[in-house]
């Protein structure tokens, strides 16, 4: 494989020489700037061999470097040849800084504007203005050289009926049009695939783990929408499904339609749209309004039908998890210590017994022993999957895309007898999880204001975890949905009733073990009691938390009461869906402490 990567790097260098350029930047992102990149757009992987979900490579005429974040500092050394690439930290040693010191001064740096956000392009132009020249490409060199590029997945368009989504497309478009008119905006360009799917009440499977169709859209303040997708992909009944006011165009017509917005006020989200859109609109003479995608908040605050679907799919997902956990306990008791791949595949098989499962919601994190200390570990990126060690912990973070909702759950399972330290740390994490789950907070509260609730017990003993505490989750859409979040990072978006967020504190001992406990939480409004309207969380996930990892003496009475109440809800919801030995196992797993 290293020889192949060397050939590809050399081909890029020959292209640089032919084009009289000094370096080219190749990010992991594709033109949709989404978290998940379809196989035919995995340009960074083709060039470097890197399989992670975030990174960028810079190839100059005589040097090359790859930049990854802290999740991938070990993985990158196993996948990317060090004789070809320097390894750099994406955050601490940004690619633009490397360019300034490693590429010929005043040299030409090539970028494909479709692969970078508008916000990034503004930063790059500012940072390199005095030292280098950015060259905006009209075609991508990787696309020109990638001879065995896989074909794009073309899935069938699924029309989501009103009973599934609770609000018609026409009503959603009217709601967004009102928001645009209030901001004196003529049109908004929609580039987030899940926003388009939500707005038109459609789904697809073009992208692994994300039930969307590769497309773009423009919505006007009249409520009319221009939808850009290959015309032969539009299914019978689409026009009646979306109602009047939706016009379908081929993707090749996108630039021409953007150019008709000359002299218009056009909303474009600088964080989710690629720079090609801003350049095209600027050249057309449009006034760009840099604001958040107008679909984000309405999409995030689920309606009653979506909430009911999320609750229903979590019960079925909980049944699959319970069958899996029962199987795993049986295997360990029989001395069968499987590897991470076998365990992950078995969990997927249990989920696939549900005919409403369309896909997983992300690649399962199946991590044994010390592998779980890497919070975004992926056994498929390793030379060989890890084997279950006895007297340790196993961490599994997984989820499903169901027709009525999206799930995401992490459980940390005792394998044999965990050490006292493991039990102690697990209980600290559990206390933080419970503190957040029990939170009561006034309307207007943001996620960062709640983050410390989940960390407080770890902090008190000098520990922490290096990831967010909670992310938004969509309704049969993205498992990582904005704009809401719970983390240390500033986020001014207030939590609203109907939002769904994860609650996932953790602890990671490098070279030792990893712990994470994750449920999804629904934001609900409580009956009025005091002077302020008050919100709370309602746990959606229905799966036991492993009691064998808990030091009961560390729990307060309210914490213990929450745990026992939660387990009673799991029993009530899931027990009708299982029987025999699985039901007996569930009864024991949810019995009061």
151 domain-assigned: no
313 and 293 housed in the same domain:
no
374 and 347 housed in the same domain:
yes
Specify the pLDDT at position 80: 95
Specify the pLDDT at position 2: 83
174 and 230 housed in the same domain:
yes
- Separation of alpha carbons 334 and 324, rounded Å: 15
Decide if 101 contacts 88 (C-beta within 8 A): no
Specify the pLDDT at position 400: 98
Q: Residue 372 is encoded by which pair of tokens?
A: 């779980």
Specify the pLDDT at position 186: 98
386 and 527 housed in the same domain:
yes
In this structure, what CATH number is given to the domain that contains residue 421? 3.90.230.10
439 and 576 housed in the same domain:
yes
Q: Residue 431 is encoded by which pair of tokens?
A: 């206390």
100 and 123 housed in the same domain:
yes
In this structure, what CATH number is given to the domain that contains residue 294? 3.40.350.10
The pTM of this model reads 0.94
292 and 349 housed in the same domain:
no
H/E element holding 368?
Answer: strand 365-368
287 and 324 housed in the same domain:
no
Q: Which of 264, 299, 334 is the last residue of a domain?
A: 299
41 domain-assigned: yes
208 domain-assigned: yes
Range of the domain at 261: 158-299
Low-confidence ranges of the chain (pLDDT < 50): none
> Which residue in the block uniquely carries the two structure tokens 């992926």?
378
Specify the pLDDT at position 589: 98
H/E element holding 503?
Answer: strand 500-503
Domain count, the chain: 3
Q: Which of 268, 284, 299 is the last residue of a domain?
A: 299
Specify the pLDDT at position 27: 97
433 and 461 housed in the same domain:
yes
9 and 126 housed in the same domain:
yes
Specify the pLDDT at position 214: 97
6 and 135 housed in the same domain:
yes
Specify the pLDDT at position 70: 76
Specify the pLDDT at position 271: 87
Specify the pLDDT at position 374: 84
396 and 413 housed in the same domain:
yes
H/E element holding 537?
Answer: strand 534-539
Q: What is the DSSP string of 140-192?
A: -HHHHH-TTPPPPP-PPPEEPPHHHHSS-HHHHHHHHHHHHHHTT-SEEEE--
Give percent of the chain above pLDDT 90.
92
Of residues 147, 150, 90, 148, the one with CA closest to residue 120: 90
Specify the pLDDT at position 230: 97
> Which residue in the block uniquely carries the two structure tokens 């960028």?
56
568 domain-assigned: yes
- Separation of alpha carbons 518 and 503, rounded Å: 5
Specify the pLDDT at position 378: 83
């Amino acid at each position: 494989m290293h020889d192949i990567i060397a050939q590809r790097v050399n081909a890029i260098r020959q292209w640089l020489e032919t084009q009289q350029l000094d370096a080219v930047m190749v990010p992991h992102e594709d033109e949709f700037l989404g978290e998940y990149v379809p196989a035919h757009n995995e340009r960074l992987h083709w060039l470097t061999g890197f399989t992670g979900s975030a990174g960028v490579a810079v190839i100059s005429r005589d040097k090359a470097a790859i930049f990854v974040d802290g999740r991938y500092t070990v993985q990158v050394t196993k996948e990317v040849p060090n004789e070809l690439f320097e390894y750099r930290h994406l955050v601490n040693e940004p690619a633009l800084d490397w360019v300034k010191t490693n590429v010929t001064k005043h040299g030409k740096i090539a970028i494909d504007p479709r692969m970078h956000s508008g916000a990034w392009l503004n930063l790059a132009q500012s940072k390199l203005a005095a030292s280098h020249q950015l060259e905006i490409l009209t075609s991508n060199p990787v696309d020109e050289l990638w001879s065995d590029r896989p074909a794009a997945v073309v899935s069938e368009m699924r029309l989501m009926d009103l009973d599934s989504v609770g609000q018609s497309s026409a009503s959603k478009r009217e709601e967004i049009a009102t928001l645009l008119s209030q901001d004196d905006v003529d049109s908004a360009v929609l580039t987030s695939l899940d926003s388009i799917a939500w707005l038109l009440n459609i789904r697809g499977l073009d992208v692994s783990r994300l039930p969307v169709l590769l497309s773009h859209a423009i919505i006007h303040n009249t409520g009319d929408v221009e939808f850009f997708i290959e015309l032969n992909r539009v299914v019978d009944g689409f026009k009646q499904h979306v109602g009047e006011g939706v016009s379908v165009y081929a993707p090749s017509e996108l630039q021409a339609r953007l150019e008709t917005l000359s002299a218009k006020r056009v909303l474009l989200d600088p964080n989710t749209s690629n720079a090609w859109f801003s350049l095209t609109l600027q050249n057309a003479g449009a006034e760009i309004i840099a604001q958040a995608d107008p679909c984000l908040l309405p999409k995030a605050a689920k309606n009653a039908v979506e909430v009911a679907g999320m609750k229903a799919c979590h019960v079925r997902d909980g049944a699959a998890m319970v069958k899996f956990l029962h199987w795993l306990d049986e295997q360990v008791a029989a001395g069968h210590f499987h590897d991470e791949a076998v365990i992950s595949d078995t969990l997927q098989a249990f989920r696939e017994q549900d005919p409403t499962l369309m896909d997983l919601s992300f690649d399962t994190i199946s991590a044994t022993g010390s592998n779980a200390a890497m919070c975004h570990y992926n056994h498929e990126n390793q030379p060989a999957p890890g084997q279950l060690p006895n007297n340790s912990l196993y961490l599994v973070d997984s989820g499903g895309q169901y027709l009525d909702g999206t799930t995401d759950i992490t459980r940390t399972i005792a394998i044999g007898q965990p050490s006292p330290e493991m039990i102690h740390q697990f209980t600290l994490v559990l206390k933080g999880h419970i503190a957040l789950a029990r939170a009561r907070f006034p309307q207007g509260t943001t996620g960062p204001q709640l983050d410390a609730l989940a960390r407080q017990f770890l902090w008190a003993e000098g520990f922490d975890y290096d990831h967010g505490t909670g992310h938004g989750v969509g309704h049969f859409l993205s498992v990582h949905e904005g704009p809401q979040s719970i983390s240390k990072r500033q986020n001014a978006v207030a939590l609203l009733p109907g939002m769904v967020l994860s609650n996932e504190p953790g602890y990671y001992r490098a070279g030792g073990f990893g712990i994470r406990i994750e449920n999804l939480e629904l934001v609900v409004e409580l009956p009025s009691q005091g002077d302020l309207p008050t919100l709370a969380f309602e746990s959606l996930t229905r799966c036991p938390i492993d009691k064998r990892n808990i030091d009961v003496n560390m729990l307060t009475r309210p914490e213990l009461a929450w745990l026992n109440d939660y387990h009673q809800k799991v029993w009530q919801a899931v027990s009708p869906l299982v029987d025999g030995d699985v039901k007996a196992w569930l009864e024991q797993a949810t019995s009061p402490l």
